Amino acid sequence: MTRKKKFISEAENSIIWWFLPVVILLTFFYLYPLFEVFRLSFTNTSFIEPEYSYTIRSYIRIFTSSSFYFTLKITVIYVAACIVGQLGIGQAIALLLDQGEKRRLRGTVLTRTIVLMGWVMPGVVTGIIWNMFLSSSPYGFVNYIIRSLGFKPISFLHSSIFSLVTIIIANIWRGTAFSMILQYAGLKQIPQQLYEAAKVDGASSLQQYFYITLPQLRNVIFINLVLITVGTFNTFEMILSLTGGGPGISTEVLALRIYSAAFKSFDLSGGAGYAVILFAINLIMALTYFRLISKED
Amino acid sequence: MRRSKLNLKNLLIYFSYGIIIICFGGALIAVLSLSLKTPAQIFSYPPKLIPNPIAWANYLKVFQQSKMPIFLYNSIKIVFFTTLGVLLVSITAAYGFSRFDFKQKRVASFGILAFQMISPLIVVIPLYRYFNQLNLINSHFATILTLIAIQIPFTTWLLKGFFDSIPREIDDYARIDGCSRFQTLIRIILPLSAPGIAAAVIFNSLQSWGNFIIPFVLLEDTNLYPVSVGIYQFQTVQEEITTHLLAAGSIISIAPVVLIFIFLQRYIVNLLIQGSVKG
């Protein structure tokens, strides 16, 4: 064996080389920036003045500003509404598609494809499309339908209450697909004998749903819940292009707040502080997710 | 046979399909319709779903008068190199997880998935700061490297699952025949996990096509924008009078992913299922 060959054969048996690229990339682009974001959040730095000293003033500023609590409030409303909507509608569609498939109805794949379309599109385009769809201009289709039904048009994008509803609807439109497909997969794993036995015992379809389907889907629903929560907390570009966080700050959720603090107000430490808060939420969700999938194994 | 299918329950399901298709397809159809209108048609009320005449020229205009061709070129470049990079790095890591036994393997493999749940928005502030110092703002290279890092965790996890399903005895036979680990990976494991590699390619292409925040923050020169950032910039500078062009631009920017998706639907659906339920 030549020296070079020997070196290669030793190298490939050593585990370090296989993980080196991943470790380097994740360290440079994730771990170190994470550390930096923590550090920056304890400084008074900004993009304009690079000189800084250590302080906890940015956190004091965050926690004493009333707009932060407003942001938290609308973020929680937004996330909660999306969870309910995505889980509920996702399950309804999954059940329908499952039934349709069992009955070999036409249009099942078409329906599934159209629902999934929202998931596959870039979030920023979703925002742009819904912005046009819900517009108050003559081309806004939704308002056209509302007017045709004899109601007053709704200002989806310029009223503070309706704009929150708008981002919720658009995100449910986008996120239901994922929730639906997971629950659809879950439904397929339920043993058919359970339903047959229940039928023999004379259980109604409602009873079958509550005593078989729902308990069997329990794990899938919990995993879904965590993934929807983390995904919704992290929504950024869809809201940016849909309402831009406005009117005012009425749809400025936590993720948008990070961006507007750091890159619009050039308040680097403030932005880092918000980022740390979002990180804490992400971490809690990740840990919950692991506990759930460890249980599954 | 046909008549028996038309019972009440089936009708109800069909009716629900109709509602679902209207609710989920409505926005897309409205934008498609908008993209084929002239400015005069946009502002005529009531809006017509099928414009007459159909303004196909809008699409030509977007290609000729905006930077859309440049955006598309940039996107394709970013998607290609990101996907390639992610694959190279993830394949080796997935091999490590699948074929070596070590302490804390479980913790490490969960740990790598944790990255997937952390929003890139959190790390983008320090990234911007030090790329600025390194003069790497406006660099596709830095953007691609960052995207690779973001997409590695899921792909590693996905490929590990595929590699795990190939029995280790096959490696042993290859070893007896004189194959090194690297040769075994290239000649045996990779061909056997072709569906996994294909799934990884699709997933990474969709994700890097749609990623917004990284190029949005790291690229400032319009000529370097990918489609996702380009279309947003298009939106911020447009006026009501060019809504039809924004609509056409939106359709162009989703067309590649939507087409890929329609053709490879079954694959993607399985990928989704594998990625999340099975962990």
Per-residue pLDDT at B9 exceeds 70: yes
**Region B60-84: what's the mean pLDDT?**
94
Give A54's strand partners. A43
Please tell me the total count of domains within chain A.
Answer: 1
Q: What is the pTM of this model?
A: 0.89
CA A134 to CA A159: how far, in whole Å? 12
Q: B122 and A275 in contact by Cβ < 8 A?
A: yes
Q: Is A238:A215 a contact under the CB 8 Å cutoff?
A: no
B149 vs A contacts (CB less than 8 Å) = 25-26, 28-30
Cα of A82 to nearest chain B Cα, Å: 16
Spell out the residues 6+ positions from residue A66 whose beta carbon is closer than 8 angstroms to its own.
none
CA B17 to CA A99: how far, in whole Å? 12
Q: Pull the structure tokens for residue B210.
A: 């749609």
Buried b vs exposed e over A198-211: b needs ≥16 C-beta within 10 Å? beeeebeeeebeee
> pLDDT category, B277, cuts 50, 70, 90?
very low
Given this model, what pLDDT does residue A288 score?
86
CA A149 to CA B108: how far, in whole Å? 57
pLDDT tens readout for residues A256-292:
999 998 888 888 888 899 999 999 998 988 888 888 8
Q: Is B144:B233 a contact under the CB 8 Å cutoff?
A: no
Q: What is the DSSP string of A150-177?
A: TPPPP-TTTSHHHHHHHHHHHHHHHHHH
CA A173 to CA A225: how far, in whole Å? 16
Which range is least confidently modeled, A226-230, A278-282, B176-180? B176-180
Taking alpha carbons only, the member of A211, A169, A182, A206 closest to residue A194 is A211
Given this model, what pLDDT does residue A66 score?
86
Q: How long is chain B?
A: 279
Question: What chain A residue is nearest to B123 in terms of C-alpha separation?
Answer: A33
Dihedral of alpha carbons A41, A47, A53, A58, sign = negative
Kindly state whether residue A5 falls inside one of the protein's structural domains.
Answer: no
Per-residue pLDDT at B164 exceeds 90: no
Which one of A122-131, A133-142, B46-55, B195-204 scores highest in mean pLDDT? A122-131
Given this model, what pLDDT does residue A297 score?
56
Q: What is the mean pLDDT of chain A?
A: 87
DSSP code for A54: B
pLDDT tens readout for residues A232-258:
999 999 999 999 887 888 999 999 999
State which residues form the domain around A273: 66-296
Which one of A12-21, A55-64, A83-92, A146-155 scores highest in mean pLDDT? A83-92
Q: In a 3-state reduction of DSSP, which class is residue A122?
A: coil
pLDDT > 90: percent of chain A: 37
Q: B117 and A286 in contact by Cβ < 8 A?
A: yes
* Residue that is written with structure tokens 């070999």 in the block: A104
Spell out the residues 6+ positions from residue B16 whose beta carbon is closer than 8 angstroms to its own.
A96
Backbone φ and ψ of A154, nearest 5° = -105, 135
Given this model, what pLDDT does residue A224 score?
87
Per-residue pLDDT at A51 exceeds 80: no
Virtual torsion, Cα A135, A140, A146, A148, nearest 10 deg = 150
CA B241 to CA B263: how far, in whole Å? 35
| CATH architecture entry for B66-237 | Orthogonal Bundle (1.10)
Question: Given phi > 0 = left and psi -120 to 50 = alpha, else beta, which region is A52?
Answer: beta
**Region A105-116: what's the mean pLDDT?**
89
Q: What is the mean pLDDT of chain B?
A: 87
> pLDDT category, A165, cuts 50, 70, 90?
very high
Q: A278 and B121 in contact by Cβ < 8 A?
A: yes
Interface mutation vs chain B, best among A45, A98, A103, A117, most B CBs within 10 Å: A117
The domains of chain B are located at 2-59, 66-237
Nearest to B123 among A22, A37, A148 (CB): A37
Q: In a 3-state reduction of DSSP, which class is residue A245?
A: coil
Q: B21 and A114 in contact by Cβ < 8 A?
A: yes
Q: Pull the structure tokens for residue A279.
A: 């990180």
Given this model, what pLDDT does residue A114 score?
92
> pLDDT category, B1, cuts 50, 70, 90?
very low
CA A62 to CA A273: how far, in whole Å? 8
Given this model, what pLDDT does residue A8 score?
64
Per-residue pLDDT at B67 exceeds 60: yes
CB atoms within 10 A of CB A22: 21
Q: Is A274:A258 a contact under the CB 8 Å cutoff?
A: yes
Q: Pull the structure tokens for residue B106.
A: 């479980």
Given this model, what pLDDT does residue B86 score?
96
Q: Is B133:A6 a contact under the CB 8 Å cutoff?
A: no
pLDDT > 70: percent of chain A: 94
pLDDT tens readout for residues A22-50:
999 999 998 999 999 999 888 887 776 76
Q: What angle, 0 to 180 degrees and rounded to 10, lies between the N-to-C axes of helices A218-233 and A268-296? A: 170
Which comes out higher in pLDDT, residue A53 or A234? Answer: A234
- Scanning A49-122, the segments in alpha helix (DSSP H) are 57-64, 66-102, 108-120
Q: What is the DSSP string of B118-170?
A: S-HHHHHHHHHHHHHHTT-TT-HHHHHHHHHHHHHHHHHHHHHHHHHTS-HHH
Question: Peptide bond preceding B46: is omega within 30 degrees of 0, i.e. cis?
Answer: yes
Given this model, what pLDDT does residue B218 score?
94
Kindly state whether residue A23 falls inside one of the protein's structural domains.
Answer: no
Nearest to A223 among B9, B122, B277 (CB): B277
Per-residue pLDDT at B176 exceeds 50: yes
Which one of A34-43, A209-218, B70-79 scores highest in mean pLDDT? B70-79
Nearest to A279 among B118, B156, B180 (CB): B118
Per-residue pLDDT at B81 exceeds 90: yes
pLDDT > 90: percent of chain B: 43
Cα of B70 to nearest chain A Cα, Å: 18
Given this model, what pLDDT does residue A268 score?
85
DSSP code for A101: H
Q: A283 and B114 in contact by Cβ < 8 A?
A: yes
Given this model, what pLDDT does residue A69 score?
92
Q: Is A123:B267 a contact under the CB 8 Å cutoff?
A: no
CATH of the domain at A113: 1.10.3720.10
Number of H helices, E strands in chain A: 16, 0
B241 vs A contacts (CB less than 8 Å) = none
**Region B3-11: what's the mean pLDDT?**
71
Which comes out higher in pLDDT, residue A152 or B269? Answer: A152
**Region A50-70: what's the mean pLDDT?**
84
Nearest to A117 among B96, B180, B258 (CB): B258
CB atoms within 10 A of CB A99: 17
Q: Is A124:A237 a contact under the CB 8 Å cutoff?
A: yes
DSSP code for B117: G
Spell out the residues 6+ positions from residue A293 whose beta carbon is closer than 8 angstroms to its own.
A223, B279
CA A21 to CA A5: how far, in whole Å? 21
B126 vs A contacts (CB less than 8 Å) = 32-33, 36-37, 40, 272
Which comes out higher in pLDDT, residue B205 or B109? Answer: B205
B27 vs A contacts (CB less than 8 Å) = 129-130, 133, 173
**Region B22-44: what's the mean pLDDT?**
89
Kindly state whether residue A61 falls inside one of the protein's structural domains.
Answer: no
Per-residue pLDDT at A20 exceeds 70: yes
Per-residue pLDDT at A135 exceeds 70: yes
Q: B43 and A18 in contact by Cβ < 8 A?
A: no
CA B226 to CA B215: how far, in whole Å? 7
Given this model, what pLDDT does residue A93 score?
95
CB atoms within 10 A of CB B239: 7
Q: Is B74:B224 a contact under the CB 8 Å cutoff?
A: yes
DSSP code for B7: S
- Could you give the count of Cα atoms lying within 13 Å of A141 in the half-sphere of its Cβ? 20
Nearest to B25 among A17, A114, A294 (CB): A114
Q: Pull the structure tokens for residue A142.
A: 């939704």
